[in-house]
Structures are given as C-alpha cells and as structure tokens.
Amino acid sequence: MSIDIVDKAMEILKRYPLCDRCLGRLFGYLGKGLGNDERGKALKLVLVMELHRKLQMNEIDLETMKLILLNAQREDFLKNLGEHIEDVERRRCYICGDLIDKWIEEYSQKIATIIQNLKPKSFLVGVSSVQEYVVKEDMIAREFGLGYRENIKRELKREIGKRAAVLTGIKPDFSKPEVIVIIDIAIGSVRIDYPSIILYGYYWKYGRMISQNIWITKSGKMKYPLSVEDIVKFVSQQLKADRYRLHIAGREDVDVRVYGSGRPIAIEFKTMDKNIDMELVEKYLNSVSPWLQFQIKMKVNRAFVIRLKEGARFSRKIYRAIVYTSTPITSESLQKLEEVFKDRVIEQRTPTRVLKRRKDKVRRRKMFKIKTFLISPNLFEALIECEGGLYVKELISGDNGRTKPSFSDVLGCDARCVMLDVLYVHEYI
C-alpha cells in the first residue's frame, strides 16, 4: 500500500469519522476483489502503524494522533499505546452513521425471504432514498480529490444482491433480471418491481363513443361503455401482469373512429414473464370487442416510446369529415375551399370545448391539402391532410373566430363537422 494512500486516508480521518466500509469505499477502485470493509480495515491498520512510527519520530503530536484514531474508530489502539483515556464514546461514521453493515445484513435477509417465495430465475437490487448519504460522500470526494472511489448506492446494490444470492441460490442479473427488488432506506421498505415489456402496434376503432382511457364519472359510473384501456387491462389480467401502461401516438375524440393505417400504440406490461407471446397478446386484445381491433408488430424499448410520443405531436394525419352547412353550397365554393387550404398555416386558439382542461394558447399547425365531395346541397365530405395537433372540428366550425381560417369563414356560412374519422397516422419514429 502506497504511503500516498495512507497519507490521504489520514487527511480524511483528521476531519471525518468513518467506518471501515465508508473509508474503504473512498478507495473502492483500488485493489480489485476486495470488499470495501476489508479495504477500510486494512487501511486503518497501516495507518495505526504509520501513526505509531510518526509519534516515535516526533513527526506528529499526540493530540493529532488521538483525533485520527478516534475518527478511525480505533480507540482501542490509544489504550494499547498506554494512553490513559476514559471510556470515550465511539464516533459515528460521518457518511452512514454506522448503519451500512446493518442495512446490508437486514435487507439481504428481507430480500431473500421475498425472492424465495417468488422463485424468479434472476433478480436485481435497486436502492432508493440514499441521497443524503450520497451528498456527504460526494462532498468528501470533492474535498480530497478522490478519483478512485465507489459510491454508496452501488456498494449497497452489490453487497445486498451478493448476500441474498448466497442465501437463496438465485442469481443476481444486472442486465435482464426477472424481478427487481427495490429497497427504500428511508422508510425501511422492500418492494417488487418488474422490468417492462413494451409491445408496439396499432389499433383501429370501428365504433364511436369509445375513449382511450377508462373514464369514471363523479358518480362512479363508466362514462363510455368501452375504452382502449379496458381492453389492455383485460389482457394484463390474462397475462397475470403486475401493471400495464398505454403510450398512444396522439389522441382522437371519443366520437371519432380510427380506420385506415390505425393509430400507433405501445402497450407496456410489468411482468415476470420475459417470453411474452406477441401472438397470444394480439389474440387477447382482439377477443374483447369487434369495435376495437389491434395488431402487434414488435417489442420495443423505452427510447422508442419517447420518440413515438414526441413524433405524434407533429406527425401527418389524414381525416375524413362529413360537414353540414347552414346554407346550400356549390361545387365552386368547395373548389375555393380546396385552394384556400392548400399548404396553409392555421392559427388556432385552444378550442372552447377543451378550455377547462387545457391551457389557452395559440397553436400554429399546417394544413397540407383537402379534397372535397359534395353529397347533397348542405352536406359534403372532406379528406383533410394536416399536421398532428390540429383540432379538425374547430378547423371546420371556426370556433367563434378562435380558429383562423376555417371552413365557415371561406364558405360564408356555418359549417359543422357531423362525423369524423382518422384514416391515416404517419409513424414518426
């Protein structure tokens, strides 16, 4: 052991009392294969010898030596040196308060009991609420310029995992564990989490009054008879998954159907079953209602989901709207409509109908083109290609001037969307 290391340890211990493990961890990347407790204990032993030498050579005064030994929690050596000291109170470790060995012992026992019941093939330990200890440790590392230390979170995960593995014979797995056991140091709890399995695909909504999420009214009733979430929840139960989550690229109103390409969706299940059968999931998804159908394409990761949600804000969509007008219109006025809305930026204030839930602001969204078909003097069909995030119903009505321009403006009468379908959602991933 180099004297530099001992000198450094001495400097640290002059200022902070540290237990074997916390001192050892500050030098954690030196001397592979050692536990931090061994490393710290060894450092302290060499330190005692060095202090003894320094004292004999008059290189150190008694007071400084006393201070270092007390902070090293080696008051026993003071007695060995013939120093008469009263029973001094053992100084608690500045970083962990002398709790780290207790944590390792207790949590590995708790985890062993839990995983013995669950019997996963592998597990991983996660640690939360250690911030206050991390802060202290970081401070010491900065103060003394320590570039080879391990951090407390990593040590706890490793040591607890190692012991629980010995107790149970179940292996820790750092990349693909079957279960994750998360300990919370602050409240002393242990909970089980599962790695996520995320399946990507599309859904088609062939009926109206179907919401994306389960919507419970104030009186505790279901607002709509069916939702995308209802179906995912059912599948999650079939798979015996612990939890589920939906990540959907954009959102349509409950009365809007989804045809054509379908809408991209990622479904996340938290389950111990790694080998989730995608065909089976698809079968379950499609077994609930003919009004909602799904196709599962592939497994994806978290980064994919983030891209999916980000992209949906602007990705291109095609809608089909049936528009009713207050006065009869002609093919000429529809032609004008097509011209006005070709490559046009629409300025849209948050629609009146969603003002209660959303912030009032102006959005600018692009219209690429529209194609119209006159059905009867007061009714026409419009195919609308636009950027995601445009409120199509308001594009048609104008929402009392909050959306500009609108179909109502251009046609010179009240236009209203009576039916709306999504035909295409561009996969922006």
Q: What is the contact surface with Zn ion in residues (CB under 5 A)?
A: 19, 22, 93, 95-96, 100
Q: How far is the CB of 19 from Zn ion (least distance, A)?
A: 4
Cβ atoms of residues 404 and 346 within 8 Å: yes
Q: How far is the CB of 97 from Zn ion (least distance, A)?
A: 7
Query: How many residues does this entry show for the chain?
Result: 429
**β-pair type (403-404, 415-425):** unpaired
Cβ atoms of residues 137 and 152 within 8 Å: yes
The smaller minimum CB distance to Zn ion, of residues 155 and 399, is found at: 155
Q: Tell me how far apart the 2 most distant CA atoms of the chain are, in Å.
A: 111
Cβ atoms of residues 323 and 407 within 8 Å: yes
Place of tokens 């969509």: 317
**DSSP SS3 for 23:** helix
Q: What is the dihedral of CA 144, 145, 148, 154, to 10 degrees?
A: 70
Q: How far is the CB of 28 from Zn ion (least distance, A)?
A: 13
- Residues 425 and 395: their CA atoms lie apart, in Å, by 18
Neighbour count for residue 330 (Cβ, 10 Å): 11
Reading the block at residue 12, the tokens are 């640290």
Q: Choose among 230, 244, 231: nearest CA to 285.
A: 231
Q: How far is the CB of 24 from Zn ion (least distance, A)?
A: 9
Catalytic position from the list 101, 173, 184, 253: 253
Q: How far is the CB of 92 from Zn ion (least distance, A)?
A: 8
Q: How far is the CB of 184 from Zn ion (least distance, A)?
A: 19
224: left (phi over 0), alpha (psi -120 to 50) or beta: beta
**DSSP SS3 for 402:** coil
Active site residue 253: yes
Q: Choose among 293, 238, 305: nearest CA to 268.
A: 305
Q: How far is the CB of 40 from Zn ion (least distance, A)?
A: 9
The smaller minimum CB distance to Zn ion, of residues 10 and 346, is found at: 10
Cβ atoms of residues 409 and 390 within 8 Å: no
- Residues 219 and 205: their CA atoms lie apart, in Å, by 27
Neighbour count for residue 373 (Cβ, 10 Å): 11
Q: Choose among 255, 274, 201, 253: nearest CA to 232.
A: 201
Q: How far is the CB of 159 from Zn ion (least distance, A)?
A: 13
- Residues 29 and 37: their CA atoms lie apart, in Å, by 13
Q: How far is the CB of 87 from Zn ion (least distance, A)?
A: 22
The smaller minimum CB distance to Zn ion, of residues 26 and 386, is found at: 26
Neighbour count for residue 214 (Cβ, 10 Å): 15
The smaller minimum CB distance to Zn ion, of residues 100 and 417, is found at: 100
Per-residue DSSP letters for 119-187?
A: --SEEEEEEES-HHHHHHHHHHHHHTT--S---HHHHHHHHHHHHHHHHH-PEE-SSS-SEEEEEETTT
The smaller minimum CB distance to Zn ion, of residues 95 and 392, is found at: 95
Annotated catalytic residues are: 253
